[in-house]
Structure 1
Amino acid sequence: MNKRITEAFEKGKAFIPFITCGDPSLEVTEQLVYAMEEAGADLIELGIPFSDPTAEGPVIQRANVRALSGGVTTDKVFDMVVKIRKNSSVPMVFMTYANVVFSYGTERFIKTAAEIGMDGLILPDVPFEEKEEFDSVCKKHGIDLISLIAPTSHERVAQIAKDAEGFVYCVSSLGVTGTRTNITTDIGAMVKLVKAVKDIPCAVGFGISTPEQAKKMAAQSDGAIVGSAIVKLCAEHGADCVPYVKEYVKSMKDAVMEA
Structure 2
Amino acid sequence: MTNISDAFKNKKAFIGFTVACDPNFTKSIDYVKTLAKAGTDIVEIGVPFSDPVADGPVIQAAGQRAFKSGVSTKRVFEMVAKIREETTVPLVLLVYLNNVFKYGYARFFAACQQLKIGGVIIPDLPVEERAEVAPFAKKASCALIPLVAPTSGERIKKIIADTDGFIYAVSSLGVTGARNKITTDLKKMVSDIKQLTAVPVAVGFGVHSPEQAATISKSADGVIVGSAIVKIIAQEGVHAEQQLTDYVHTMKNALAEPSELI
Report the TM-score, using the length of structure 1 for normalisation. Answer: 0.97
Report the TM-score, using the length of structure 2 for normalisation. Answer: 0.96
| Root-mean-square deviation over aligned CA pairs | 1.1
Q: Deviations over 1:127-167 (max 9, x none)?
A: 11111111111001110000110000000112222322110
Please, which runs of 5 or more residues in structure 1 have no aligned partner? Answer: none
The answer (yes or no) to whether the contact 1:44–1:92 under 8 Å persists in 2 is: yes
Q: How far apart are residue 246 of structure 1 and its match? A: 1.4
The answer (yes or no) to whether the contact 2:39–2:248 under 8 Å persists in 1 is: yes
Q: State the distance in 1 between where 2:231 and 2:98 align.
A: 25
- What are the within-5 Å matches in structure 2 for residues 27-176 of structure 1? 27-176=26-175
1:233 aligns with 2:228: no
Amino acid at match of 1:65: Q
Please, which runs of 5 or more residues in structure 2 have no aligned partner? Answer: none
The answer (yes or no) to whether the contact 2:18–2:44 under 8 Å persists in 1 is: yes
The answer (yes or no) to whether the contact 2:2–2:141 under 8 Å persists in 1 is: no
User: Which structure dedicates a bigger proportion of its chain to helix?
Assistant: 1
The answer (yes or no) to whether the contact 2:2–2:90 under 8 Å persists in 1 is: no
SS of the residue corresponding to residue 155 of structure 1 reads helix
The answer (yes or no) to whether the contact 1:63–1:235 under 8 Å persists in 2 is: yes
Q: Deviations over 1:80-126 (max 9, x none)?
A: 11111121111000001001111111111111111112111000111
1:207 aligns with 2:206: yes
Between the two proteins, what is the percent identity of the paired residues?
46
Q: State the distance in 1 between where 2:218 and 2:25 align.
A: 34
Q: State the distance in 2 between where 1:94 and 1:125 align.
A: 14
The answer (yes or no) to whether the contact 1:28–1:242 under 8 Å persists in 2 is: no
SS of the residue corresponding to residue 55 of structure 2 reads coil
Q: State the distance in 2 between where 1:140 and 1:37 align.
A: 27
Q: Deviations over 1:20-53 (max 9, x none)?
A: 0111012111111221112111101001111111
Q: State the distance in 2 between where 1:105 and 1:168 align.
A: 25
How many positions carry a matched residue from both structures?
258
The answer (yes or no) to whether the contact 2:97–2:124 under 8 Å persists in 1 is: yes
SS of the residue corresponding to residue 204 of structure 1 reads strand
